[in-house]
Amino acid sequence: MNIKINNLTKTYDNQIVLDNISLEINNTSTIGIIGKSGCGKSTLLRQLAGIEEPDGGEIIIDGLSPITDKIEFQKSIGVVFQKHNLFPHLTLKENISLILRKAKNMNKQKADSIAKQLLEKLFIENEADKRPNMVSGGQNQRCSIARALATDPKLIFLDEPTAALDPILTNEVLKAVNQLKNEGINFIFVTHEIHFLKQFADYIIFFENGIICEHGDVSCLQNPQTTHLAQFLGGI
């Protein structure tokens, strides 16, 4: 995956959240964005996924812009949210098959069958006919990953996917995303979990007060170049 960000800016209510960010990363499979709460890392993720439009600047991910080529770009990605964002009135299977019917124009029978296969892949096929409020947080999050896979994405965005989960459920999610990484899917994710970060990321971006303080190979977590990152890691 290749990413190029130029002069990216975003403000909410006159408060600068992304302050003229520029960055270029090439040939990386998984990028973890870390930083203190409220530093703007989820905002950066939303701009990269095309969920929100920045006030200024440009983003190119593998030749497409989430700003100017939004529809085409979003056809090639999946997004997993912190609160899973599954539709509560639909079963886990229906949550996926609806997206398949919508994104791939499939009939209901075929969409249901592929939805079941995706749930099997994430080891939650037994919960297929249950609604999100009837299964655990980890199962919901795995269903959310299965839904993200429905469009055959080359890149999946994860917005703090384990924030609401205990360590056992976190490991469930980690196992699932590692399997997908091995299958060749790229990831950009935001996390607070240093264990998740170390186990999953190839590249990290450390964010503070709307600017990138440090970025580089995941090994920089062992040997931080800035006092900001060192203090952040020391505080965890």
Partner 1 sequence: MKKGTSFLIAILVYSSLILLAVFFTIDNPRYDLILQDYRMLIDGFITTILASLITLVCSMVIGFVLFLAERSKHNIVHAFAVVFSEIIMGTPLLIMIFLAVYVIGGIIFISNKFVLGVFALTLYMAPYLSNAYKTAVAVVDKDQYIVMNLYHFTLFEKYRYIIIPQMIRPLLPSLINNLSSIIKGSALLRIVSVSDISYVLTVISSKNWAAIEGYYVMWLLYLIITIPLSILAKYLAKKVSI
The position carrying tokens 């509560």 is 88
- 208 C-beta neighbours (distance < 10 Å), count: 19
Q: Which residue, 23 or 103, is less far from partner 1 as judged by CB?
A: 103
Q: Which stretch binds partner 1 (CB under 8 A): 24-32, 76-84, 194-202, 206-214?
A: 76-84
Q: Which of 38, 53, 102, 217 binds partner 1 (CB under 8 A)?
A: 102
Q: Which of 9, 58, 69, 81 binds partner 1 (CB under 8 A)?
A: 81
Q: Which residue, 154 or 195, is less far from partner 1 as judged by CB?
A: 154
Q: Which stretch binds partner 1 (CB under 8 A): 27-35, 53-61, 98-106, 210-218?
A: 98-106
Q: ∠ CA(101), CA(106), CA(109), 5° rounding?
A: 95
Q: Is residue 85 involved in binding partner 1 (CB under 8 A)?
A: yes
Q: Which residue, 94 or 172, is less far from partner 1 as judged by CB?
A: 94
Q: Which of 99, 174, 176, 218 binds partner 1 (CB under 8 A)?
A: 99
Cα(38)–Cα(15) distance, rounded to whole angstroms? 12
- Maximum Cα–Cα distance across the chain: 56
Beta-strand ranges (E) seen in the chain are 3-12, 15-25, 30-35, 56-61, 77-80, 155-159, 186-190, 203-208, 211-217
What binding mask, one character per residue, do residues 40-69 give for partner 1 by CB under 8 A, x or -? Answer: ---------x-x------------------
Min separation Cβ 118 and partner 1, Å: 15
Burial readout 137-169 (b: 16 or more C-beta within 10 A, e: otherwise): bbbbbbbbbbbbbbbebebbbbbbbbeebeeeb
Q: Which residues bind partner 1 (CB under 8 A)?
A: 49, 51, 71, 74, 79, 81, 83, 85, 87-89, 98-99, 102-103, 151
